[in-house]
Amino acid sequence: MLEIKNLHVKLEEEDKVILKGVNLTIEPGTVHAIMGPNGSGKSTLSYVLAGRDGYEVTDGSASLEGEDLLTMEPEERAAAGLFLAFQYPVEIPGVGNMTFLRTALNAQRKARGEAELSAGDFLKLARSTAASLKIDADMMKRPVNVGFSGGEKKRNEIMQMALLQPKMCVLDETDSGLDVDAMKLVSEGVNALRDAGRSFLVITHYQRLLDHIKPDVVHIMADGRIIQTGGPELALEVENNGYADLLAGGK
């Protein structure tokens, strides 16, 4: 599904190198988790995959189902099936949630050569998707993320994901800011989407999310590299012992 090879990334404006050779292969239908200390480059990896400005890829490649991601515009990556649930979802005053979602969904469908959804069909779909994540209709009418609580923003990200039905979902600390019930709700939302044709890359600091969304593979990222890869037990080790041993072993 997703194949990242020897990815090197620096900041465009500064001589600061953030990713120093990331290798990662995610098979269709699998869930991978990435853990790692603050500042190790996890969000940067997700932004570079999604196509955010400000980063320069100096070496390596990233492809989605064999297609080179790095030469595509962010909207093309989305249409190709990539989705990033932001660590910090963005507030956009003046742009209504519904307008935004409908524009996004129909633009993706159009880019893939599929028929656009009518206003009525879209409304039905959006309502039922929102309801499944206990997002009330009132919130949907508001501008994108404006006035949403931290947890509501995160739920809204998953709601967008459920609506857009991407193939490759990258979740950047979707669990942070969620209360216990919301965490369950969000996890159920994610698990409901799990199928043979869809993969997940879950970035998190805590084992708890991985209790709900059981990963197939766990990676540890440190200083711009993946220094260790293992099964779910690796997350438990981090939970119990922190990163000290892993970092020492990785060097």
User: Binding of another protein at residue 9 (CB under 8 A)?
Assistant: no
CA distance 71 to 83: 17
Find the part of the chain contacting Mg ion (CB under 5 A) among 14-22, 81-89, 103-111, 150-158.
81-89
State how far the alpha carbon of 26 is from the alpha carbons of 2, 13, 34, 170, 171, in Å: 5, 31, 12, 11, 14
Confirm if 213 and 191 have CB atoms less than 8 A apart: yes
Judged by CB under 8 A, does residue 141 bind another protein? no
**At its nearest, how many Å lie between another protein and the CB of residue 180?**
28
Q: How far is the CB of 48 from ligand ATP (least distance, A)?
A: 9
CB of 222 to Mg ion, least distance (A): 13
Taking CB under 8 A as the binding criterion, the range among 4-12, 63-71, 92-100, 229-237 that sits at the site for another protein is 92-100
Residues 180-219, mask of contacts with another protein (x by CB under 8 A)? ----------------------------------------
For the CB of residue 16, give the shortest distance to ligand ATP in the complex, in Å. 6
Stretch that binds another protein, among 29-37, 75-83, 175-183, 240-248 (CB under 8 A): 75-83
Give the number of other CB atoms < 10 A from CB of residue 141: 10
Alpha helices by DSSP H, the chain: 42-50, 74-79, 97-111, 119-132, 137-141, 150-164, 180-193, 207-212, 233-241, 244-250
Pick one of Mg ion, ligand ATP, another protein, none as the site partner of residue 67 (Cβ within 5 to 8 A by kind): none
42-61 binders of ligand ATP (CB under 6 A): 42-44, 54
Instruction: Please state the closest distance from residue 166 (CB atom) to ligand ATP, in A.
Output: 21
Q: At 201, is the secondary structure helix, strand, or coil?
A: strand
Would you count residue 11 as binding ligand ATP (CB under 6 A)? Answer: yes
- Site for ligand ATP contains 228 (CB under 6 A): no
- DSSP percent split of the chain into helix, strand, coil, nearest 5: 40, 30, 30
DSSP state letters, 90-137: PPEEEEEHHHHHHHHHHHHHHHTTPPPPPHHHHHHHHHHHHHHTT--H
Residues composing the chain: 251
What six digits make up the tokens of 72?
A: 């595509």
User: Binding of ligand ATP at residue 242 (CB under 6 A)?
Assistant: no
Q: Are 218 and 234 in contact (CB under 8 A)?
A: yes
Nearest in space to 69 (alpha carbons), one of 158, 1, 119, 145: 1
The answer to whether 15 contacts ligand ATP (rule: CB under 6 A) is no
- Choose the one of Mg ion, another protein, ligand ATP, none that binds residue 11, judging by a C-beta under 5 to 8 angstroms depending on kind: ligand ATP
Which positions from 23 to 42 touch Mg ion by CB under 5 A, shown as an x/- string?
-------------------x
Residue ranges binding ligand ATP (CB under 6 A): 11, 18, 36, 38-44, 54, 87
